Structure 1
Amino acid sequence: MRFRILGSPELYDDVRHRHIPLNAPKQRLLLGALLSHPNRTVPRETLVRELWGGTPPRKSASTLNAHVSLLRKALLEVEPERANAPRLVARGSGYLLEAAPEETDFGRFGQALDRTRRTAALDPENACTALREALGLWRGTVLEGGAHGPLCAELTARLEEERQQALELLFDCALRAGLHRYIVPELEEVTAAHPRRERFHDQLMEALCGCGREADAIGVYHRARRHLPAEADRTPLLTARLARIGARSLVPPAPDARPREAVRPEADHESVHSVFGYLAELLSGQVLLSPRV
């Protein structure tokens, strides 16, 4: 048995290799609400509020029981051998759904993320592979989006945050493995989808710098600041990244074999001073560039 909610909610029969879709919206919400607290009793009043909000039907108790019966029937279609030991049972003043973490797609995703966090620093390339496999469990938005009650909304927010953390870890591992140019398109896509997540912008700037595209990285800084808080100290990752780009530009090129004209020390001092002054203005937001696209 597999419970799948990272996309269109469905049950999967891993013995007969078949999908059992849940087409009724209330049935999907009921599954999400029960899986938000697996192996624990969810009160009937909570489930009624989850399915109908503040306007429950007149006979909400019997209507809820009908939806529970339909979901139980779908579960038994996947596991007919559990007819005498159903997963979904009445318990006290509510209902309980039995589901181990490895039997849910979001549980397997969380387990893979935890394992990879422990090994990422030592083996970034294999961590990239493991994270891509884990992210492949996502077939769309949690419970396929739509209107959710409090339990499903909380579950959706938690799982989306875990997904973004997995993406951050994936990109960190790819950068550590030297795969800068391969992840630039993905980072451009994810920064557009999550413009207020500073870490993604910082990773895109790092990837562009690793490709020798410092000017484009500075352009990312300016675009990100339109979405992030205006104060420079509220974007510490991007501010520090911009400073490193500026420091890199001050490193003198390697000497070549040809003689060069002598440069007056005071002129060289003025040049370096002007670059530092420009960088200070850039960090404070006084200078706006027209980034190369």
Structure 2
Amino acid sequence: MSAALQPSKFRIRLFGRLEVARHDRTLGPRDLGGIKPKQVLEILLLARGAHVTRDRLAELLWGDTLPQSTGGALETYVSVLRRRLASGKEGHKVVLTGPGSYRFSIESAEVDLDAFDELVLLAGAAAPRARRDHLEEALALARGEILEDEPYAEWVLDLRDKYREQVQQATLDAANLALTDGDFAGAHAHAQAAMARDRLDERACRAAMRALYALGRRHDALRACERCRALLLQELDVDPMPETEALALSIRCHAEPDDVLPALSSRTRFQRTAPAGGP
């Protein structure tokens, strides 16, 4: 994360499977006293420090099939969490009780989602080289989907979709910045990651085509376009976008590599190391 972590703070990962670390101790999804206590913690963490009412927790945990005593069950789960997360009375400072509600003491934690958000904001205000560094640092945090240990929980779906798109956009931005830097191998790696995340994303396909062409791999660039075309036809019954078709045409016509890349500064103009018509 961008700032040095305070040793006493929790280090919480919500990308991928839940992970809660403090000092030399790391807790995973199976270390929190059961499924329901774990889900209570995850719901509180997704609230980012806001209070969550008992009624709302009960609705998210059980839907229409409420237990006989939701209040008692929630108290039990919170008590279990406090014992798992901290020792003695300190647990009450981690999971706080409010009027008819609970909240996680987010000020006692460093959360990967917050660090990701901060780095993306920094990238938006930075010069191109620093922008790419910030984006790549953010992408290093995005080790998977949000809370992969809860693949079907409705209370995480919207946030998961939001971060999936943000991670995809950050990956595409990093690919285009790498193209601008003249780091075509790096651009191709980012484009591949974006295509693995969404194989129908033509933005990722175009970034891969540009990187491959700049690397002298013209035929591979055209094959990438044809794979994209086949997938779009198979999955959506549509043709590629005009931008993709135009890029493919430029590559077929042996355009200068600079002409298919994002605008480059005079300092980073393409230096050809292999013929544009290479393998």
Identify the TM-score tier after normalising by the shorter chain: 0.7 to 0.9
- Report the counterpart of residue 12 of structure 1 in structure 2: 21
Please state if 1:244 is matched with 2:246: no
Question: Which of these residues, 64, 78, 92, is aligned with residue 74 of structure 2?
Answer: 64
Q: What is the CA–CA distance in structure 2 between the aligned matches of 1:17 and 1:102, rounded to whole Å?
A: 15
Q: What is the CA–CA distance in structure 2 between the aligned matches of 1:69 and 1:250, rounded to whole Å?
A: 66
Mapping 1:169-208, distance limit 5 Å: 169-208=173-212
Q: Post-superposition shift, 1:37?
A: 1.7
Classify 1:230/1:9 alpha carbon distance in 2 versus 1 (closer, same or farther; 3 Å). Answer: same
Answer with 100-109 or 59-68: which moved more: 100-109
- Report the counterpart of residue 260 of structure 2 in structure 1: none
User: Structure 2: which 5+ residue stretches go unaligned?
Assistant: 1-8, 257-277
Mapping 1:81-92, distance limit 5 Å: 82=90, 86-92=93-99
Classify 1:244/1:91 alpha carbon distance in 2 versus 1 (closer, same or farther; 3 Å). Answer: farther
Residue identity matched to 2:157: A
Residue identity matched to 2:49: N
Classify 1:75/1:188 alpha carbon distance in 2 versus 1 (closer, same or farther; 3 Å). Answer: same
The alignment's TM-score, normalised by the length of structure 1, stands at 0.71
Classify 1:191/1:147 alpha carbon distance in 2 versus 1 (closer, same or farther; 3 Å). Answer: closer
CA RMSD of aligned residues (A): 2.9
Query: Tell me, what secondary structure is at the counterpart of 1:86?
Result: helix
- Report the counterpart of residue 156 of structure 1 in structure 2: 160
Q: Post-superposition shift, 1:205?
A: 0.9
Classify 1:217/1:102 alpha carbon distance in 2 versus 1 (closer, same or farther; 3 Å). Answer: farther
User: Structure 1: which 5+ residue stretches go unaligned?
Assistant: 252-291
Percent same amino acid at aligned positions?
25
Q: Does the 8 A contact of 2:94 with 2:108 survive in 1?
A: no
How many residue pairs match? The answer is 243
- Report the counterpart of residue 268 of structure 1 in structure 2: none
Q: Does the 8 A contact of 1:89 with 1:97 survive in 2?
A: yes
Question: Which of these residues, 103, 109, 112, is aligned with residue 119 of structure 2?
Answer: 112
Classify 1:53/1:22 alpha carbon distance in 2 versus 1 (closer, same or farther; 3 Å). Answer: same
CA displacement 1:96-147 (0-9 Å, x = unmatched): 223149721110111011111222xx333x4333333322223443223434
Answer with 234-243 or 59-68: which moved more: 234-243
Larger radius of gyration between Structure 1 and Structure 2: 1
Q: What is the CA–CA distance in structure 1 between the aligned matches of 2:98 and 2:19, rounded to whole Å?
A: 24
Query: Tell me, what secondary structure is at the counterpart of 1:58?
Result: coil
